[in-house]
Amino acid sequence: VKISLLNDFNFPSWVKHTKPSAIDDLIGYASQPDFISFALGLPDQSFLPKAVLTEVTNDIIENEIDAFQYSPPLEELKTEIVKLMHLRGVSCDEKQIFLTSGGQQGLNLLVTLLLERGQPVILEELVYPGILQSLKPFSPEILTVPTDLKTGMDVEAVERILKSGVKPAFIYIVADGSNPLGVNLALDKRKRLAELANTYGVPIIEDDPYGFLNYSNQLPCIKSFGGENIFYVGSFSKIFSPALRTGWVVVPECFLPLLVSLKESFDVNIATFGQRITMGLLRKNIFESHMQILCSAYRERRDKMILSLNQYFPTEISFETPDSGFFIWVNFIENINTTLMLEKSLNAKVSYIPSQSFSAIAGAKHTSGMRLNFSYSSSQQIEEGIKRLAETY
Ligand code: PMP
């Protein structure tokens, strides 16, 4: 007798409504031969500084066998992160840095710490699905604000919500190279959002995995304009490698004991090897040259994708040129449903993520957009993939 476990188990209601994400569905495709993936936010691991990585890794294996043990967070890595935060315009010290197993865990920890069940949160209408996954167990009231594709989150809409007396647990934002929209929040809006956080006593979770990947001038992060209630989430996933599972959050010092005990329930201190490799790479002083290599390679791929979009979709779509991050957001001018179009494009061996997968509130409002990743495929693949896409819709 076949038993449907999902129906028989008495799961809490949020679990019953959990569906696999489009991203999970599309991971498998990326490894098929001749498949071109514009779907996932993958860095190109061929840009890893292999010689230095080998040296650093060998040194850890030879001399620091504790790297394979449960061990306390690496204080020296925090010192390196303090220097990186300076580059993002933030002065902080080691006592405000908490190391995480990647940015996603930083989000999970902060959401768990700040959000009461059922409380409101402010998100953009189209949002990084990972934050939605973190929110789900808390069944929050999701309040959304629109995004301008040139200047980012509608901060006036945020202000209207706050003025109305609503007290959200936090505002979540990816201000640089937004995922999924690719936009950078304009400088004046950064300052205004930081002011609002301060005036209304509402925390901001600033998720910044792409803040160092800029293709024109870099803007200081929102945290640099504000105080203690702006919580910054950083990650080495896009800088070095997601497999290192190394990220951090910048929080007031008094948060650290809470985060320590909360993190213990997630995974204890097991990312030690990744942390040591990250620290070894940073100490070799390769950060700036490595970022230059990444930024110039990704800029070239971004430009190739824009060129190919203009060449193969001359009039049907609209898009902006992103100044940071990994994604170009494309809107179809006619009412094309990109969710329905996906099957045809998978048959043509090219993938993207349809706009509906990023809806903060489930519904059919955003149906004619798609997120295209340009960091992972070579220029040649980018041209071929865009050509295939243009033939499928
Ligand atoms: N936030 C955003 C906006 C992301 O795009 C990602 C990765 N796709 C993450 C957080 C999490 O990254 P990681 O856990 O690998 O640091």
Q: pLDDT category, 269, cuts 50, 70, 90?
A: confident
Contact criterion met (CB below 8 Å) for 101 and 247: yes
Q: Please, which residues have CB within 8 angstroms of residue 298's CB and are 6 or more apart in sequence?
A: 213, 215, 326, 374, 375
Give the CB-side neighbour count of residue 155, counting CA atoms within 13 A: 19
Show the tokens assigned to 233.
């989430």
- Residue 217 or residue 84, greater confidence: 84
Residue 279 backbone phi and psi in degrees, to 5: -65, -40
pLDDT reported for residue 20: 67
Mean pLDDT of 348-367: 90
Q: pLDDT category, 270, cuts 50, 70, 90?
A: confident
pLDDT digits (tens, 9 = 90+) for 49-61: 999 999 999 999 9
Calculate how far, in angstroms, residue 204's C-alpha sits from the geometric centre of ligand 1: 17
Mean pLDDT of 173-194: 98
Mean pLDDT of 39-46: 94
Contact criterion met (CB below 8 Å) for 189 and 150: no
Q: Is the pLDDT of residue 90 over 60?
A: yes
pLDDT reported for residue 365: 79
Q: Which of 179, 210, 241, 375 to mutate to test the pocket of ligand 1 (most atoms within 8 A of CB)?
A: 179
Mean pLDDT of 81-106: 97
Calculate how far, in angstroms, residue 104's C-alpha sits from the geometric centre of ligand 1: 5
Contact criterion met (CB below 8 Å) for 100 and 106: yes
Q: Is the pLDDT of residue 223 over 90?
A: yes
Residue with CA at minimum distance from ligand 1 atom 3: 179
Give the other-Cβ count within 10 Å of 201's Cβ.
10
Contact criterion met (CB below 8 Å) for 142 and 111: no
Strand partners, 120: 141
Q: Which of 27, 99, 104 to mutate to test the pocket of ligand 1 (most atoms within 8 A of CB)?
A: 104
Q: Is the pLDDT of residue 2 over 60?
A: no
**Percent helix / strand / coil, the chain, rounded to 5:** 50, 15, 35
Q: Is the pLDDT of residue 126 over 70?
A: yes
Q: Which of 54-68, 257-271, 314-328 is least confident? A: 257-271
Calculate how far, in angstroms, residue 177's C-alpha sits from the geometric centre of ligand 1: 12
pLDDT reported for residue 4: 62
Return the DSSP state at 260: H
Give all strands of the β-sheet with 204-207 in edge-to-edge order: 97-100, 247-250, 230-235, 204-207, 171-173, 120-124, 141-145
Cα–Cα distance for residue pair 174/63, rounded to 1 Å:
39
Classified as helix, coil or strand, 169 is coil
Q: Can you spell out the DSSP letters for 51-99? A: HHHHHHHHHHHHH-GGGGS-----HHHHHHHHHHHHHTT----GGGEEE
Residue with CA at minimum distance from ligand 1 atom 5: 179
Residue with CA at minimum distance from ligand 1 atom 4: 209
Q: Share the mean pLDDT of the chain.
A: 93
Q: Which of 43-52, 68-77, 120-129, 323-332 is least confident? A: 68-77
Q: Is the pLDDT of residue 3 over 60?
A: no
Q: Is the pLDDT of residue 25 over 80?
A: no
pLDDT reported for residue 391: 93
Show the tokens assigned to 31.
């490894």
Cα–Cα distance for residue pair 43/120, rounded to 1 Å:
33
Calculate how far, in angstroms, residue 330's C-alpha sits from the geometric centre of ligand 1: 21
Calculate how far, in angstroms, residue 221's C-alpha sits from the geometric centre of ligand 1: 17
pLDDT reported for residue 364: 64
Mind spelling out the 3-state secondary structure of 95-158?
HHEEEECCHHHHHHHHHHHHCCCCCEEEEECECCHHHHHHHHHHCCEEEEECEECCCEECHHHH
Calculate how far, in angstroms, residue 8's C-alpha sits from the geometric centre of ligand 1: 34
Calculate how far, in angstroms, residue 19's C-alpha sits from the geometric centre of ligand 1: 19
Q: pLDDT category, 1, cuts 50, 70, 90?
A: very low
Calculate how far, in angstroms, residue 234's C-alpha sits from the geometric centre of ligand 1: 9
Q: Is the pLDDT of residue 314 over 90?
A: no
Q: Which of 235, 240, 327 to mutate to test the pocket of ligand 1 (most atoms within 8 A of CB)?
A: 235
pLDDT reported for residue 363: 75
pLDDT > 70: percent of the chain: 96
Q: Which of 173, 184, 238 to mutate to test the pocket of ligand 1 (most atoms within 8 A of CB)?
A: 238
Cα–Cα distance for residue pair 298/318, rounded to 1 Å:
21
Q: pLDDT category, 175, cuts 50, 70, 90?
A: very high
Residue with CA at minimum distance from ligand 1 atom 12: 103
pLDDT reported for residue 121: 98
Mean pLDDT of 180-202: 97
Pocket of ligand 1 (CB under 6 A): 41, 102-104, 128, 130, 174, 179, 207, 209, 235, 237, 242, 247
Q: Which of 127, 181, 207, 275 to mutate to test the pocket of ligand 1 (most atoms within 8 A of CB)?
A: 207
Calculate how far, in angstroms, residue 249's C-alpha sits from the geometric centre of ligand 1: 13
Classified as helix, coil or strand, 269 is coil
- Residue 160 or residue 30, greater confidence: 160
pLDDT digits (tens, 9 = 90+) for 359-377: 999 876 788 999 999 999 9
Mean pLDDT of 174-195: 98
